Amino acid sequence: MFLSRALALLALFSLGNSERLVRFLATDGKEYYGDAILPSGTVDAAKSTSAKVVVGDILGDFKVTNQVKKIKKLLAPLPSERVRTVRMVGLNYVAHINETNSTIPQWPILFYKPWTSLNTPSDPIPVSPGYQNQTNFTSTMDYETELVVVIKKKAFNITDEEALDHVLGFTVGHDVSHRGWQIDRGGLPQPQFSMGKGADGWAPWGPAIVTTDIVPDPQVLNIWTKVNGVTMQNDTTANMIFGVAHLISFFSMGITLLPGDVIFTGTPKGVNLGKENPQWLTDGDVIEVGLENVGTCTNMLQYVN
Ligand SMILES: *[C@@H]1O[C@H](CO)[C@@H](O)[C@H](O)[C@H]1NC(C)=O
Ligand SMILES: *[C@@H]1O[C@H](CO)[C@@H](O)[C@H](O)[C@H]1NC(C)=O
Ligand SMILES: *[C@@H]1O[C@H](CO)[C@@H](O)[C@H](O)[C@H]1NC(C)=O
Ligand SMILES: *[C@@H]1O[C@H](CO)[C@@H](O)[C@H](O)[C@H]1NC(C)=O
Ligand SMILES: *[C@@H]1O[C@H](CO)[C@@H](O)[C@H](O)[C@H]1NC(C)=O
Ligand SMILES: *[C@@H]1O[C@H](CO)[C@@H](O)[C@H](O)[C@H]1NC(C)=O
């Protein structure tokens, strides 16, 4: 009796440790967390049409059940209010530093986005009038693809070696940027990252948090951006100056990282800012940011009034 019950429980739950964690609106109209079921031939959860329902808290204890739900729409992997801090790293790839005529930082460059900037992996990126063309001020909208780290365990004063134990998994994010507000109106020589990058919806992320046993090494992944189907960035996370483990331990020297916090780890070369003839993003452009073995976010830039 006891044994058969235990077996039944085992059949119902597989212990969570190897997932592509998604949050989604199902065809039954309800919201769930899930482990994305991948269609054959892809590892991009953005293409998943169903998922196994996850019960519990993905930032704590959770289980993957055998209950399958159909996905109507993928949401951001966590609700914005559970992401208490959106940490951003600037200038973390040498070739990107080159293309922007910046100097290689000795220490990681940290700034923050407000959590109102978080967006789903598919919704439009709104551009309000203050960021659109004005008299003598061009809308210099740019893309930046980035590997994103999701923290699962509080981290304070930890070492590089301990850092990955505090990570739930990795996802891809888009650090949408307006260079005019970031640099030209940034109070040179200091850029002001938050005004140029922190607007509502300017940080799409997802489609899934891919756990660290699927991606044990975040420093070997192809990372890219396509604009209207054309590849604009295509690099490898091996080119980061400060790797994921060091970023976490470095920040933790005096700042507590909490479960649900995310860290966008900087963008590689290929941004508009570094081009002789930049094609600034405009209304209707569709931007895909992608990370190998993790997936893609595809969002349209949309002017709003
Ligand atoms: C950076 O630019 C310098 C000078 O143009 C060049 O020698 C170097 O190879 C570049 N480095 C990278 C990583 O692109
Ligand atoms: C970098 O410097 C070059 C050469 O002076 C210049 O053509 C280019 O516009 C500069 N790029 C940026 C992003 O400042
Ligand atoms: C905008 O540029 C035009 C033409 O170069 C110039 O006449 C005008 O004074 C400028 N306006 C402002 C607000 O700087
Ligand atoms: C914004 O101004 C730039 C520079 O004048 C121009 O190339 C671009 O087409 C304008 N964009 C829109 C949406 O009007
Ligand atoms: C930080 O960790 C080191 C050991 O790794 C320890 O000696 C030190 O007391 C810790 N500092 C704080 C503020 O916790
Ligand atoms: C990036 O470059 C690699 C190697 O050249 C190529 O196989 C891949 O298709 C490129 N990715 C994109 C998105 O263009």
Say if residue 136 is in the same domain as residue 33: no
pTM of the model: 0.93
Say if residue 147 is in the same domain as residue 242: yes
Q: Residue 255's pLDDT is what?
A: 96
DSSP assignments along 191-215, one per residue? --HHHHH-STT-EEEEEEEEETTTS
By mean pLDDT, which of 129-133, 155-159, 188-192, 238-242 is the weakest?
188-192
Say if residue 69 is in the same domain as residue 137: no
Average pLDDT, whole number, for the chain? 95
β-bridge mates for residue 205, sequence order: 173
Final residue of a domain: which of 74, 104, 127? 74
User: Residue 179's CB: how many other CB atoms inside 10 A?
Assistant: 23
Mean pLDDT of 110-117: 97
Judge whether residue 9 has pLDDT over 60. Answer: no
Say if residue 180 is in the same domain as residue 239: yes
Say if residue 130 is in the same domain as residue 278: yes
**Residue 253's CATH number:** 3.90.850.10
201 alpha carbon – ligand 4 mean position (Å): 22
Judge whether residue 34 has pLDDT over 60. Answer: yes
Say if residue 143 is in the same domain as residue 259: yes
Mean pLDDT of 41-54: 98
52 alpha carbon – ligand 4 mean position (Å): 46
Say if residue 55 is in the same domain as residue 188: no
Final residue of a domain: which of 74, 96, 119? 74
For a ligand 3 pocket test, name from 133, 135, 136, 184 the mutation site with the most ligand atoms within 8 angstroms of its C-beta.
136
Mean pLDDT of 272-276: 98
Tally of domains within the chain:
2
Say if residue 41 is in the same domain as residue 160: no
Instruction: For residue 21, give its domain range.
Output: 2-74
pLDDT in tens, 118-145: 999 999 999 999 999 999 999 999 999 9
Judge whether residue 14 has pLDDT over 50. Answer: no
265 alpha carbon – ligand 1 mean position (Å): 21
The answer to whether the CB of 101 is under 6 A from ligand 3 is no
Output 4 or 60, whichever has higher pLDDT.
Answer: 60
Judge whether residue 241 has pLDDT over 50. Answer: yes
Q: Which residues of 184-215 are buried (b: 16+ CB within 10 A; e: fewer)?
A: eebeeeebbbbbbbbbebbbbbbbbbbbbebb
Say if residue 143 is in the same domain as residue 252: yes
Ligand 6 atom with least separation from CA of 290:
13
Say if residue 179 is in the same domain as residue 238: yes
The answer to whether the CB of 138 is under 6 A from ligand 3 is no
Say if residue 144 is in the same domain as residue 47: no
Final residue of a domain: which of 27, 45, 74? 74
